[in-house]
Amino acid sequence: MEEPAGDAMAAALRAAKRALRGELRQRLRALGPAEKQRQSRLLGLKVIGHPKYQESKRIAIFLSMPDEVQTEEIIKDIFKQGKECFIPRYKPQSNHMDMLKLSSAEDISSLALTSWNILQPGDDDSTREEALAGGGLDLIFMPGLGFDKKGNRLGRGKGYYDTYLERCMKHPSGKPYTIALAFREQVCESVPVTENDVPVDEILYEDS
């Protein structure tokens, strides 16, 4: 019995995403720490001068893993400018993520490391405001493995940001502006996507 065309396409798409993830992980492994730092610093300056960043009050940003653009300087600036800063708490074994409020840049050192090596607030941390329980978000900085110039994003395959953006759409303040932070090595000719993949509004990288 032949596979229905839809199933075959879905399987081909999954395979294409898997192959591209492998290639991007290799490219990232080849990037030295000094080069990552150089591009991260440059992107930090682009962000701080960005009109959308300047007008946003409530901002969600990821705490970087070693193969991601380093966000520490941006986080310090968010507090310096008196904006509100929210960071992800991922629920393992699901695609659920919350954006919880940080009280200061130093607050990061009080967070626990998860099994994925990501710092995030603990499950028992009920004192932090979840962004959508309050005034929503104006801007989300998005991580990802790869991006194309049309705004298509290849995540790590769990769907955390896509499902969170769906929740944002239901919030009275509406969908926040999304900016992906990428090393130039993460920008691809084209990224395979399904209709559930939410494109980002803008990709910031060295040559953008």
CB 137 within 8 A of CB 173: yes
Tokens (6 digits) for 173: 């303040």
- Binding-site positions for ATP read 17-21, 153-161
Given CA atoms 186, 59, 93, 12 in this order, what sign does their dihedral have?
negative
Length, in residues, of the chain: 208
HSE-CB at 74 with a 13 A cutoff on CA atoms is 29
CB 197 within 8 A of CB 162: yes
CB 176 within 8 A of CB 138: yes
CA 96, CA 33: separation in Å to the nearest integer?
A: 31
- Binding-site positions for substrate read 63, 68
- Binding-site positions read 17-21, 63, 68, 153-161
Of the candidates 63, 74, 161, the one whose C-alpha atom is nearest the C-alpha of residue 110 is: 63
- Provide the residue type at 97 as one letter: M
